[in-house]
Amino acid sequence: GNSVTQMEGPVTLSEEAFLTINCTYTATGYPSLFWYVQYPGEGLQLLLKATKADDKGSNKGFEATYRKETTSFHLEKGSVQVSDSAVYFCALRYQAGTALIFGKGTTLSVSS
């Protein structure tokens, strides 16, 4: 079946460190891939997305590249800030109009 696997958290970094949160997926066909972020006390917000192989989604300094050969969509940021502390969810949609399938989420904690 279709599923998403994320690296276990929490991830604890110092400000300005490099961030990678791994995400791999299993899906039939060619899914669309997403990263959502949940700041404390808030709902999930779309961070970035990619709809086909080799697409790169980017937003707020975060990037992720859709790698079909490795079925991955790892989230990266070159220099994290304290305000990036949140829970990050990788998700896929295997077909237009169907529901998102989420990973467990990875908690990021950035200290100054």
Partner 1 sequence: EPEVTQTPSHQVTQMGQEVILRCVPISNHLYFYWYRQILGQKVEFLVSFYNNEISEKSEIFDDQFSVERPDGSNFTLKIRSTKLEDSAMYFCASKALNSPLHFGNGTRLTVT
Q: Which is nearer to partner 1, 42 or 69 (CB)?
A: 42
User: Looking only at residues 50 through 89 of this chain, which bind partner 1 when binding is defined by CB under 8 A?
Assistant: 89
Peptide linkage before 31 cis (omega within 30 of 0): no
Helices (H), the chain: none
Interaction mask 21-50, partner 1, x per CB under 8 A: -------------x-x----xxxxxx--x-
Least gap, CB of 99 to partner 1 (angstroms): 4
Nearest distance in Å: CB 108, partner 1: 16
Cα gap 40→27, rounded to integer Å: 30
Q: Please, what's the b/e burial string for 69-90 (b: 16 or more CB within 10 A of its CB; e: otherwise)?
A: eebbbbbebeebeeebbbbbbb
Residues that bind partner 1 (CB under 8 A): 4, 34, 36, 41-46, 49, 89, 91, 97-105
